[in-house]
Amino acid sequence: MTPALDLQTAAVVLIIFSVIWVALGYFWGRGNTGLDDHMLAGRKVGLSLAACTAMATWVTTNTTMVAPQLALQMGIWGMLGYSLGSVGLLLFAPMSTRIRQLMPTGYTSGDFFRLRFGVTGWRIFLLISLAYSLFFLVSLGMGGGILIESLSGIPYRIGMSVILLICVLYTMLGGLKAVIGTDFIQTVVILTGMVAVGAMVVMSPGLDTIHTEVMERRPQLMNLLLPASIMFLFNNLLFGMGEIFHSNIWWSRAFAFGKGVGFKAYLLAGLFWAPVPIAAGFIALASVAMDINIPQPDQVGPMVAAALLGKTGAVLIFIVIFSALASSLDSLLAATSDLLLEDVYKRHIRPRATKQEMRKAASYVTLILGLVTWVICLPRVTNLVQMLHASGALVASTIWPIVAGLYWRKTNRIGAALAMFLGSTVGLISYFMVGFYVAALTGALVSFVITVGSTLIWPQQFSWDQLAENSEE
C-alpha cells in the first residue's frame, strides 16, 4: 500500500514535533524542586489541565485507528462499544474524590493495596499492574512504529525509536508537569483534527449519501441485533473499567489534581471522550460511500482523510496519530515509573530512601523502563496486541477489590487477594479457550463472587485512618 504521506514531509513533521515536546518538557521541568513536583505536579493541577490530561491519555492510537476498524467490521455496535470506554472515566470521577479524601499524601495505586489489603494482595496487584503496563507500553511503541511506517514510509524501527525517545526524554525532564502540559496541547490537536476531517465528511459525501450507500452495499453494519456484538459491548465495558480503576495513570492524577478538581475533571474527560470513537467510526463508514478500497482496516481513517483533503489531510492525520501516541505513552511511562519507584525501589530495594534520593532515582527508572520497552519492540512481534487483549482478564479482576476496598469497610483482605488471583486465572483460561470477548467478563465475574462472598462470610474490620499513612514513613 502506498503511504498517505511522502517520506520527506513526514520526517519534517516528526522532527518539528519531537523538538517541541522535548523543549516543553525541559521548560516545565525547571520548576520541579522535589519528589511531589516530579511525580504529582505539586498536587495542585487545575481543572482545565486535569480534564485535558485525562481525556488525552485515554485517546490512544486504538481510539483513532481501531475504532474506525471496528466500525467497518461490526458497524454501529463497534462504534458504540468502543465509546463505552468513557464509562470507566465517568465512574472514576467519584472514586477519585474518595481516593484523595482517604489518602491525602498517597503516591500510587500500590499504596492503596499495600495499606488496605496487606502484603499478599499488594504483591498480586503489582504483578497484574506491571504486567499490563509493560504489555500496553510495548503495544503502543510497536503500534506507533507500524502506523508511522504505513502512513509515511519511515522505517518501523526509526519511527518506534523516535516516539519512545521523545516521550522518555520529556518525561524525565519534566515529570508529570511535562506530561500534563503536553497532554493539553495534544488534546487540542486531536480534537481539531477529528472535527476537521468529520466536517469534510459531512460536506462531502454527506450524511444522506453515507446512509444510503451503507444500507445498499453493507446493510449488516446497521444491524443492531447481532449477539456477538452485544457480548463485545459488555466485555469492552468491563475491560475499560478495569484498565482505569487499577492503573496508576488515573490514581496518580487523583493525587495530583487540586482538591475538588478530580470529580469534575474525570466527568468532563468522559463526556468529551465518548463521541471520539463514534466520530472515528462515522469517518470509516464514509469510506463505503466514497468507494475507497481499504486493504488494511486500521488504515481507513488516514485513507479517508487523504482522499478528502489530499496532502493536507495526510499531514493532519499524521499529527493527530502522533499526538495520540505521545499522550498515552508519556502518561503510561510516568505512571509506571512512579509505581516502580514507590512500590518496588523504595518498598523492596531501598526502604530507607529519602525523598531527595527518590527524586534522583526517578529519572533513571523512567530511562530504564523506556529502554526495556524499546528492546522488546525491536523484533516487531505481532502477537503483542493479542497479549494486551488477554490482559483484560487481569485488570478486570481488580475492579471489585478496588471498589469494595474504597467503600466497604468490612471487605475481606484474603478474599480480595484471592479474587484478583483466581479472577485473572479463570479469565485467562476463558481467553484461550473461548475468545477475547469473554476474558474480562469471566475475570470480573469470578472476582465479584469471591470478593463479595468472602466478605459476607468472614467480614473484617478496617479503619479508614490507616489509608492516610504518609508514604514517607
227 within some domain? yes
Which pLDDT value is given to residue 76?
A: 75
Distances (CA, A) of 473 to 160, 252, 464: 40, 19, 17
Which pLDDT value is given to residue 223?
A: 64
The stretches in the chain having pLDDT less than 50 are 471-473
396 within some domain? no
pTM of the model: 0.90
Q: How far apart are CA 328 and CA 336, in angstroms?
A: 12
470 within some domain? no
440 within some domain? no
447 within some domain? no
Distances (CA, A) of 70 to 239, 371, 431: 16, 32, 19
Residue pair 246/332 in contact (Cβ under 8 Å)? The answer is no
Distances (CA, A) of 330 to 136, 167, 180, 255: 12, 5, 9, 18
306 within some domain? yes
How many domains does one find in the chain?
1
Q: How far apart are CA 82 and CA 92, in angstroms?
A: 18
312 within some domain? yes
Which residue in 217, 158, 169, 125 sits closest to 413, CA to CA?
Answer: 125
Which pLDDT value is given to residue 296?
A: 67
3-class SS letters over 212-225: HHHHHHCHHHHCCC
Which pLDDT value is given to residue 120?
A: 95
Domain that holds residue 245: 7-384
Distance of CA 438 to the CA centre of its chain: 20
Which pLDDT value is given to residue 164?
A: 95
Q: Looking up cell 495530583, which residue turns up?
A: 256
Which pLDDT value is given to residue 247?
A: 93
463 within some domain? no
Which pLDDT value is given to residue 443?
A: 93
By the 10 Å C-beta count (0-12 exposed, 13-18 middle, 19+ buried), 73 is classed as: middle
User: Residue 310 maps to which CATH number?
Assistant: 1.20.1730.10
Tell me which H or E stretch contains 302.
helix 300-339
